[in-house]
Amino acid sequence: MTSGKTFQLSGRPAKHTVLFFYPKDNTPGCTTENMAFRDLHEQFTAAGAEIYGISRDSIRSHEGFKTKLGLPFELISDPDEVVCQLFGVMKMKQMYGKTVRGVERSTFVIDASGRLVKEWRGVKVAGHVDEVLEFVKS
């Protein structure tokens, strides 16, 4: 995880932990999604939620991406796809007319007891972060 920290889901003090999986640092949709979470970060925090972005990119890539966008939350590197497999986000997708294996943009909300309480799969970026915020506020 960025900032040299280690992530552990159990024992999180937050009311909600938001894990959002995205395909790749520095790509248009992923940049837009990370910026949307950044821009609403204070509201998520006020609602008792912690946010973590996850992709297969390296820590080095994540550190640069986090700095470039001024992200106030941590990014988790999953190059071996351990977490991606746990959440079932690796999918076959069409990209430029070719079938490729990659991360399906997905978001999961986990409560303080470690229970999955909401999931979004196959996410379209527009309006998604607002929807997640409304869920954690309710």
For residue 26, the SS3 value is: coil
Q: How much is the pTM? A: 0.92
The reply to whether 30 belongs to the active site is yes
Across residues 20-49, what is the average pLDDT?
97
15-137 under CATH 3.40.30.10, yes or no:
yes
The closest alpha carbon to 128, from 103, 111, 107, belongs to: 107
The pLDDT value recorded for residue 28 is 95
Query: Which ranges of 20-127 does DSSP label H, i.e. alpha helix?
Result: 28-39, 41-46, 59-69, 82-86
Q: Domain-by-domain residue ranges, the chain? A: 15-137
- Write out the E strands in 78-138: 90-95, 98-103, 106-111, 116-121
Q: How do residues 53-106 score in pLDDT, each as one tens digit?
A: 999 999 999 999 999 999 999 999 999 999 999 999 999 988 788 998 999 999
Across residues 10-34, what is the average pLDDT?
90
Q: How confident is the model at residue 9 (pLDDT cuts 50, 70, 90)?
A: confident
Query: What is the enclosing helix (H) or strand (E) of 2?
Result: none
For residue 100, the SS3 value is: strand
**Catalytic annotation, pick one of 18, 19, 30, 89:** 30
What dihedral angle (degrees, nearest 10) is formed by the CA atoms of 30, 33, 39, 41?
Answer: -100
The pLDDT value recorded for residue 4 is 78
Q: How do residues 93-129 score in pLDDT, each as one tens digit?
A: 887 889 989 999 999 999 988 899 999 999 999 999 9
